[in-house]
Amino acid sequence: MLFNSFQFLLLFLPVVLLVFVFLARTGNTEAQILWLIAASLIFYGSWNPAFVALIVFSAAVNFRIGQFLATTLNEANKHRWLVIGILFNLGLLGYFKYANFFIENLNALGIWFIPLPEITLPLAISFFTFQQIAYLVDVRRGKCKEYQFRHYALFVVFFPQLIAGPIVHHREMMPQFENVRRRDELWPDLAVGFTIMTIGLFKKVVLADSLAQYADPLFGTAANGGALNAIDSWIATLSFSFQIYFDFSGYSDMAIGSARLFGIRLPENFRSPYKAKSIIEIWDRWHITLSRFLRDYLYIALGGNRNGSTRRYRNLLITMLLGGLWHGAAWTYVVWGGLHGIYLCLNHGWRALCDKTGITRSLESPLLTLVYIICTFLAWSLALVVFRAPDLKTSISVMAPGFTEFSIQQNYLLNSTVATSTLGKFFEALGFASGSYLSVYLTLGVSAVVIWVLPNTQTYMRAFDPALGATGDASRGLVNMQWRPGIMNALITAFMLSAGLLSLSAISEFIYFQF
């Protein structure tokens, strides 16, 4: 059941919310919790009912291990139970997500042949696995109190963040679940949550899906052995870079907004990453909760930066390689993670050199800041080509012409039939030819304005505490807009909602749903 579907927006969510509001008026918090658990399992089971048993089993085992960790006083037993819990979670993830990947690579060596088992990847297993590993480690560290199983079950299966995050901490959510909603907060939460959801829907179905109409055929041409020229190459690169930006930003907004309808604040997960001045900074802004997990539970566990620069760089590379593999069982994701490991090592090395030589302050100016942002964006976007391509050969076919082919011949998009996107239809209504280079450039231009000129959603909604950890002032953009209840903002929201609903005829999954 996709967030960007009539089934979710016009049936599931209204019914769940109406029953929840009714229960809120009775003051029965436990009934609200049980209702949200039931609704979340229906949400998860709508894709494949068989895997409801898997997520319930996983939650039950982790809760029981958490009880052992919380109650035993013997340090050796605590360590033993933590290892058992981590191995249990990684075992489930490894079997469902990586078994065929490793068997395929063993078969490729030609030493023996192992038939590939028919394994269906359970939805969201990467996310609820990391979430529960973090829970076990936090219990071991004494950071989690003991709760009843129904509270823990809601922490695992709460549908707004179940499929693709944010990856939440037990200590962030439990206090909120204990007091789900006070009656005096009902209407403010509904107004703020609905607005954030609408912004996310617009980003996904109008902006991201419009950009996909240009990125997909170009990547498809390269994958099928077709030749791209320089224009094709850069359109493919920029279109997908902007597409995944709006796709994941839109998902994060819809997750945060739908949770807010129930009075729950999820952590901020996306903070204008393309305004970052370095790769280090971009990882503090992109999928913030995943970056937090990789830092706190992998990088620091490996030693972090405590044992000298050499081991620090080694730990960065290992963390990013495993972070890349977490995204998918394919060598493209491993290479993508390795590229970011190299990026981070170079970035940290450059910072260390600047600090050592004392030239940091001389490298700060508005012009150099713009250069840093552009260079960071281009490095990130080129790595995304590897992330998007089905194999490494295709990624080279997409990137190489952008640096080696400088002919001015018409590009692929001008010589092929490309499905008209939502923004393409809008430009066509203004007199621009659908699918033409001008339509492509206008779509990219609109995307760039939204990314670099307008404030992000959390900044726009900053007066109403939209998410846990939202800084509000971090990325205002060049236009200082702020949401307040009123006619103008109601009209803007109504426009975005209308455009979003009218674009739901062609349903597409969020990119991060595949992880």
141, part of any domain: yes
* Residue 347 and residue 402 share a domain: yes
Candidate ranges 226-230, 377-381, 410-414; pick with highest mean pLDDT: 377-381
Residue 209's pLDDT is what? 92
Q: What is the pLDDT of residue 402?
A: 83
Last residue of a domain, one of 160, 180, 200: 180
- Examine residue 288 and state whether it is found in any structural domain, yes or no: yes
pLDDT tens sequence across 34-46? 999 999 999 999 9
Question: Do residues 77 and 169 share a domain?
Answer: yes
Q: Are residues 414 and 495 in the same domain?
A: yes
Q: Is residue 326 part of a domain?
A: yes
pLDDT of residue 426: 62
Tell me whether residue 480 is in a domain: yes
Domain boundary among 180, 206, 236: 180
What does the pLDDT look like over 471-499, one tens digit per residue? 655 555 667 788 888 888 889 999 999 98
Residue 330 lies in a domain: yes
Residue 351 clears pLDDT 70, i.e. is over it:
yes
**pLDDT confidence band for 424 (50 / 70 / 90):** low
Q: Which residues have CB under 8 Å from 439's CB, separation 6+? A: 423, 424, 427, 428, 432, 433
Both 150 and 194 in one domain: the answer is no
Q: Which of 73-77, 111-115, 294-298, 470-474 has the lowest mean pLDDT?
A: 470-474
24 and 149, same domain (yes or no): yes
- Within this chain, do residues 221 and 318 fall inside the same structural domain, yes or no? yes
Q: Tell me how many helices (H) and strands (E) the chain has.
A: 24, 0
In a domain, 185, yes or no: no
172, 240: one domain:
no
Q: Which domain holds residue 391?
A: 190-514
* pLDDT score of 182: 56
Number of domains comprising the chain? 2
Whether 223 maps to a domain, the answer reads yes
The DSSP line for 256-319 is: HHHHHTTT-PPBP-B--GGG-SSHHHHHTTBSHHHHHHHIIIIITTTTTTTT-HHHHHHHHHHH
Strand partners for 468: 267
Are 343 and 460 part of one and the same domain? Answer: yes
- Extract the tokens encoding 73: 């006083």
Where a domain ends, among 180, 208, 224? Answer: 180
Of 170, 287, 327, 348, catalytic = 327
pLDDT at position 74 is: 86
In which band, very low, low, confident or very high, does the pLDDT at 420 lie, cut at 50, 70 and 90?
low
Same domain for 68 and 176, yes or no, is yes
**79 is a catalytic site residue:** no
The Cα 506–Cα 410 span in angstroms is 29
Mean pLDDT of the 127-139 span = 93
How far apart are alpha carbons 129 and 328 in whole angstroms?
14
Give the DSSP H or E segment for 68.
helix 50-71
Does residue 165 sit in the same domain as residue 215? no
What is the reported pLDDT for 365? 78
- H, E, C per residue of 345-407: HHHHHHHHHHHHHCCCHHHCCHHHHHHHHHHHHHHHHHHHHHHHCCCHHHHHHHHCHHHHCCC
Highest-pLDDT range among 311-320, 459-468, 480-489: 311-320
Indicate whether 364 pLDDT > 80.
no
Q: For position 304, what pLDDT does the model report?
A: 86
Residues 58 and 116 in one domain: yes
Asked whether the beta carbons of 288 and 62 are under 8 A apart, the reply is: no
Asked whether residue 1 is domain-assigned, the answer is no
Residues 235 and 375 in one domain: yes
Of the ranges 285-294, 414-423, 442-451, which one carries the lowest mean pLDDT score?
A: 414-423
The 10s digit of each residue's pLDDT in 14-23 is: 999 999 988 8
Q: How far is CA 54 from the centre of its chain?
A: 23
